[in-house]
Amino acid sequence: MKPIKAKDLLELDKEMKVVLLNATPNPQTLVWQGGKNDYSEEPIHTKIPPSETDCGKWAIDQLLANERGHWGPLEHPSITFDCVGFVHNVMVQARTHRIGVSFDVQSQRYTGRRVLKVAKGELQPKQVFYVRPPGLYLDRKGHKYEWAQDDYERQLKFCLAASERYADGYENRGMAEEHLRDYLPQNIRQNFVASFSLRAILHFLDLRAKLDAQVEIQALCESMVPAIKQWVPEIFSYYEEKRLHRARLSP
3-state secondary structure 61-83: HHHHHHHCCCCHHHHCCEEEEEE
The percentage of the chain sitting over the pLDDT mark of 70, rounded to a whole number, equals 99
Residue 239 reports pLDDT greater than 70: yes
Whole-number mean pLDDT of the chain? 95
Residue 251, pLDDT score: 65
CB 171 within 8 A of CB 113: no
More confident residue, 220 or 248: 220
* 240-245 mean pLDDT: 93
Task: Give yes or no for a contact between 201 and 79, defined as CB atoms under 8 angstroms apart.
Answer: yes
Amino acid 69: pLDDT: 83
Helical ranges in the chain per DSSP H: 6-12, 27-37, 52-59, 88-94, 113-120, 125-128, 149-172, 177-180, 198-208, 215-231, 233-242
The reported pTM is 0.94
pLDDT surpasses 80 at 248: no
Of 109, 208, 243, 246, the active-site residue reads: 208
* Residue 209 scores a pLDDT above 80: yes
pLDDT at 97 over 90: no
pLDDT in tens, 151-204: 999 999 999 999 999 999 999 999 999 999 999 999 999 999 999 999 999 999
Q: Give the pLDDT band of residue 66 (cuts 50, 70, 90).
A: confident
243 is catalytic: no
